[in-house]
């Protein structure tokens, strides 16, 4: 019995000393680990207090639905996609980079967007690429856009109103968006776009505070340089040539 007790005490002391050695060695290395390659489905970059500042994720772990980040709800109806999301010092989403692309029955669809958000609001700067091919027709849009957001806008208000749109027809949603925009709750318009637009013209496009085009300077599909100005009713009031 005495020999068993001595053995157990010796084993326990050796185990403790081994753990201390492992911990000390880890601290000596500064806690940094070096990898030549790593496979991971999601990475959360956090501050010491646990606040998430960046998420790098695959499609499955992209935050949406009922997911919470920093104690705040995410966009429940947002489509899951691979990419990165950024969060400010208050834990609010502040922009991100998302992308996708796949073959479909028509041919293919692909897109990517890099955005920067207004504080407690939606995107005010975005770099976008969209590529859709249907049979022999291919639609490509790419460029950088600058948007105006309502000064009273907030993410919580946007998410709250978005829930009301569920199950509504496109016409009903458009009516609701107009109503809430006039009340200063939600809304935003593009003011500047530089790149290839929906018209497939390449140039600079300027919009008023309603999001309506007021000036364009572009090269069209026939390589003609064009300058146009519009009034509030979208009538051309000046053009060159």
- The answer to whether residue 104 scores a pLDDT higher than 60 is yes
In a domain, 117, yes or no: no
Position 225 scores a pLDDT of 97
Position 27 scores a pLDDT of 53
CA angle 80, 132, 198 (to 5 degrees): 105
Number of domains, the chain: 1
In a domain, 6, yes or no: yes
- pLDDT (tens digit per residue) in 3-47: 555 555 665 666 656 666 665 555 555 567 888 999 999 999 999
In a domain, 15, yes or no: yes
Domain residues for 11? 1-33
In a domain, 179, yes or no: no
DSSP bridge pairs for 110:
101, 131
Position 232 scores a pLDDT of 94
In a domain, 5, yes or no: yes
- pLDDT (tens digit per residue) in 113-154: 999 999 988 899 999 999 999 988 999 999 999 999 888 888
In a domain, 233, yes or no: no
User: Which pTM value belongs to this model?
Assistant: 0.77
Position 41 scores a pLDDT of 97
Contact 179, 133 (CB under 8 A): no
Helix, strand, coil % over all residues of the chain, rounded to 5: 20, 40, 35
In a domain, 88, yes or no: no
Average pLDDT over every residue of 182-204: 89
């Amino acid at each position: 019995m005495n020999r068993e007790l001595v053995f157990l005490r010796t084993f326990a002391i050796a185990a403790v000393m081994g753990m201390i050695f492992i911990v000390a060695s880890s601290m000596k290395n500064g806690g940094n680990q070096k990898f030549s390659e790593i496979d991971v489905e999601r990475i959360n970059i956090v501050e010491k207090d646990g606040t998430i500042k960046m998420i790098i994720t695959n499609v499955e772990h992209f935050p949406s639905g009922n997911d919470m980040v920093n104690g705040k709800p995410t966009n429940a109806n947002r489509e899951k996609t691979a990419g990165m999301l950024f969060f400010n010092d208050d834990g609010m989403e502040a922009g991100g980079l998302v992308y996708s692309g796949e073959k479909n029955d028509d041919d293919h669809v692909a897109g990517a967007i890099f955005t920067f958000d207004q504080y407690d609001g939606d995107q005010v700067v975005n770099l976008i690429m969209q590529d859709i091919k249907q049979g022999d027709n291919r639609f490509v849009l790419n460029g950088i856009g600058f948007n105006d957001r309502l000064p009273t806008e907030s993410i919580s208000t946007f998410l709250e109103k978005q829930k009301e749109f569920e199950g509504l027809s496109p016409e009903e949603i458009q009516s609701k968006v107009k109503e809430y925009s006039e009340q200063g709750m939600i809304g935003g318009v593009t003011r500047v776009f530089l790149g290839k637009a929906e018209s497939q013209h390449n140039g600079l496009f300027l919009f008023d505070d309603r999001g309506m085009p007021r000036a364009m300077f572009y090269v069209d599909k026939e390589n003609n340089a064009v300058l146009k100005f519009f009034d509030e009713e979208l009538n051309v009031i000046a053009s060159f040539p």
